[in-house]
Amino acid sequence: MKSIVSLLMSATLSAFVAGSALAAGPAPVVAKPDLAKGEAAFAMCVACHAADGNSTTPVNPKLSQQHPEYLIKQLQEFKSGKRANAVMSGMVAGLSDDDMRNISYWLASKQAKPGFAKEKDTVALGERIYRGGIPDRQIAACASCHSPNGAGMPAQYPRISGQHADYTAAQLVQFRDGVRKNSIQMTQVAAKMNDREIKAVSDYMAGLR
């Protein structure tokens, strides 16, 4: 009798699991990024970010070799308005999720060109902040999230090595002043930094390899 009850319970459980799977439907299939389409769609971005994503204009970021997950997140947030930027909001307004994924993975496949630090007087300060933070103000070391060489961590923290110092400094100021609101972590860090510290660490990052 006991074995019959067990069989019935097992059959009922199996039927429930099968029914739940059918109700949920098949798992969504995410299309593989199309790099050729990504390159084609990126054509409208070339004026600001250069043909290979290695922007030569200090106020526009280098995008080559950036983690694709980070790029997708930024494009989505420009489109939704979570990251406010009039120019970028207009540029991404017509992009689909597939377009964003294709562009981001194409950029990730391009080799980033190295940058270099320019300010000899503040490079030591910049290195100290990047590698050790500012302990007396509870400012964490940048390297703890962005890695010692600035390569970042895929799907978590962006690559910052070689980035234009002017662009990095501008973003830190925007985080500090509440203009850029799409990263609580960066807002909390930048809120405690003064202009000299921001400029010093931004310049130092530009020379990371």
Annotated binding site: 45, 48-49, 88, 142, 145-146, 186
HEC string of the chain? Answer: CHHHHHHHHHHHHHHHHHHHHHHHCCCCCCCCCCHHHHHHHHHHHHHHHCCCCCCCCCCCCCCCCCCHHHHHHHHHHHHHCCCCCHHHHHHHCCCCHHHHHHHHHHHHCCCCCCCCCCCCCCHHHHHHHHHHCEHHHCECCCHHHHCCCCCCECCCECCCCCCCHHHHHHHHHHHHHCCCCCCHHHHHHHCCCCHHHHHHHHHHHHCCC
Cα 27 to Cα 15, 17, 31, 40, 102: the distances in Å are 19, 15, 13, 30, 21
Binding residues for heme c, as ranges, are: 45, 48-49, 88, 142, 145-146, 186
